[in-house]
Structure formats: structure tokens, C-alpha cells
Structure 1
Amino acid sequence: MKQILLVEDDSFLIDIYTTKFKEMGFNIDVAQDGNQALRKILENNVELVLLDIVLPHVDGWEILKKIRQENSLKDLKVVILSNLGQKSEVDKAFALGATKYLIKAHYTPSEVVEEIKKIL
């Protein structure tokens, strides 16, 4: 079973995405802030991180940088799922090593799951 870590601080979205991913047979864990996310990424065998940018404590940019600096995580797939949709943000995500960038308003939860299935 594919292991995904959802890094999101909105409890409504957490409920929606965890339900959708579980329905599709994924094993999904949740981190609600950047510190918790980094700990879970390092401690667990995560195959993909679904990462929001705007988070308490440590933001998504910093998490992505730390993932890419950690040699053991260089192949970890990181998909940004954010409301930030400016071209500069999308470009920054790819420059930092994101696998894909999804703008929340452009994808239903089911479509997000389909995009993740394509990557894994």
C-alpha cells in the first residue's frame, strides 16, 4: 500500500483528502505543521508528500528545502498542493525540487487523487 503524508493545516481539507485517499486504497498520514511534517518524513517510510505552502511554524518552502538537502530523501516525491498560484511560486517550487504543483482551486479532491496515482 502506498504511503502518503498530507501536510495541511485546514482540518476541513484534511478530512476530505484523507477520506478520498483511503477510499482509493492509499495509506495516508497527516501533519498539521512544518515541524511535525519533517519529523514524520524522517521517521516513516513515506513515498509521497502532499505539501501545503502556508503552514504554522515551518512553511512548505522550508520543508521542501530540507527534504532536498537530506540525501536519503532525494528520491522522495513532493507534490505541492496550495492556494498560491502565481507563476513565481510555481517556478520556485520546481526550482526547489517539487515533483508537481497543484493549485487547490483548480482540482477537486478526486482529481488530486488521480494526479497522485499517475505519479506513484
Structure 2
Amino acid sequence: MQDTTQSDPNQQASTTPITGGEPRYKNILVIEDEHFIGELYMRALTKAGYNVKIIIDGPSGLKEAQTNAYDIILLDLMIPNMTGMELLKKLRDPNSTPNLKSKIIITTNLEQADEAKDEIEKQADGYIVKAEVTPKQLVRFLQSLER
């Protein structure tokens, strides 16, 4: 079946719900060391039409982001071998990841100090508290990034 839709820059955004179609931001890298949470994200995101890869530590996550293109990176702050904040800084460093165009969403269960929150807000595209967001809500949040 051929896609016959065309994009008209003068046309207003469609009011068609995103939930019925393919996601625009298709490829997601999840950097999460908690197996259970990674599996929950994998199932929910795959069911919603995303391609998902899970990495469990910072250095491997950096290498993956440098090697492959992802639309969205879900980055846990508490990961082995490198903190999430260290990895976030490397991901945003054009010398480390010159071709990175990913939206980076921080995921954590920790309450952040104001200083850390400010740093996250400067460098990340979003921030979610894992304990407060169900996998279904995560999918809706990612879909909202497409609008």
C-alpha cells in the first residue's frame, strides 16, 4: 500500500490522533540497568510501533549512540560505569557525538537537587520520574513529542 499523504507547509497541524498510526520518532535507545523496567518499556514501546534497543550501562550506551541513529534516548540517571549526568554531557558534546540528533529524556526515581534539575533542564529534552509514569503514560509522553 502506497502512502499518498503529503506535507503542506501552509496547512495547520492535523487533528488526527497519533495513537492510530506509525510513530514519527521510530527508533528508541533505552539506557536502563533495571531489567524489569527495561522489559516494561520494551513491551509497551514495541507494542506502540517503536523499534527499541536496551543498553544497561553508560559506556555501552555512549558507544551505541555514537554508532547508530536514534530518534529518542531514554536515559536513566543511575547506571553502571558512568553516571547518567556524565553520559548526558557526553551525548550533548559535539566532539563526542557530532551526528547526534536524538531527543534525550531523563528517567529517574531519585529526587534531584535544584542544581541537578537545572543542569538536566539545560541539556535534556524532558524528564520523567519512573515511579510516577506507567509504560502506557510513557508511550503517550513520547507521542506528545511528535506534535
TM-score, normalised on structure 1?
A: 0.92
Structure having the larger proportion of residues in helix: 1
In the other structure, the counterpart of 1:72 is 99
Cα contact 1:33–1:58 (8 A) shared by 2: yes
Cα RMSD (Å): 1.3
Distance across 2 between alignment mates of 1:111 and 1:118: 10
Distance across 1 between alignment mates of 2:117 and 2:141: 17
Aligned length: 118
Show CA shifts across 1:59-106 (max 9, x none).
110111011112322x320000111223523222112x1000001111
Is 1:12 the equivalent of 2:36?
yes
Gap regions ≥5 residues in structure 2: 1-22
One-letter code aligned to 2:99: S
Counterpart secondary structure, 2:137: helix
Gap regions ≥5 residues in structure 1: none
Counterpart secondary structure, 1:72: coil
In the other structure, the counterpart of 1:119 is 145
In the other structure, the counterpart of 2:117 is 90
In the other structure, the counterpart of 2:75 is 51
Distance across 1 between alignment mates of 2:40 and 2:140: 15
One-letter code aligned to 2:38: I
TM-score, normalised on structure 2?
A: 0.76
State the 4+ residue runs in structure 1 displaced beyond 4 angstroms.
none
Is 1:21 the equivalent of 2:48?
no
Query: 1:113: how far off?
Result: 1.2
Cα contact 1:8–1:32 (8 A) shared by 2: yes
Q: Percent identity?
A: 31
